[in-house]
Every structure is written in C-alpha cells, then in structure tokens.
Amino acid sequence: MLYRLDLMGNLVADAEVRTSQSGNEFVAFRVAVNENMGDEKKTTFFDVSYAKNNVLPYLKAGQKVYISGKPSLGASLGKDGKAYHNAHIYARDLELIGSSSSKEN
C-alpha cells in the first residue's frame, strides 16, 4: 500500500537541525503552499522533517521546494480554546526549485 503526499511550495523560514528523542538529527522546516481558486487565494502550511541534513545550507526562507513523503495529520486545542489542525510531512524526496530569491508561487 502506498501512502504519499506530493507538494510544492516555499519555505516560510530558514530550516534548522533538530534531534529526535532517539538521538537522530534531522532537518525541520515549514512550507507554505498557495492555491488560487478564482479571486480567492488560500495558503496551507506543512511542517516537514527530512533525515538528510546535508541540504541545510540551501533551505532558506523563500526557497521553492518539491517534497514527496509520508503525511501525518493531527489536531490540537489552542490556548484560545479553538481546535487547530496540523499537517506534517516526513519527506523521502526533496528537490530545490529555482533560487531562494524567486518570487514565484
């Protein structure tokens, strides 16, 4: 069975290295995916984990990326009492698209 999500978007901020509870390092970053539906524009944010930290120097705010990986969806209750949904991707494949100075969406 295949359970995969493919997305293309821009990094919201520079990526950073984090360490899992088991001691493994990974790169963490957030991607914004824009959808244009007529006059309406919608942005969805995805938190991404990527096991290969050799890409860290290239993952800067604004960089357009293509991600393919395993999605994980969750929900939490905010301090304001509202329910918030979050989407996390465990990236298997990552491709840099263009340069970080690109303004395309």
**Residue 29: left if φ>0, alpha if ψ -120 to 50, beta else—which one?**
beta
Residue 103 confidence (pLDDT): 40
- Per-position pLDDT tens, the chain of length 105: 678 999 999 999 999 999 999 999 999 999 999 998 888 888 989 999 999 889 999 999 999 999 999 999 888 788 888 887 788 999 999 999 986 544 433
**pTM for the structure as a whole:** 0.81
- For the chain, list the domains and their CATH numbers: 5-97 (2.40.50.140)
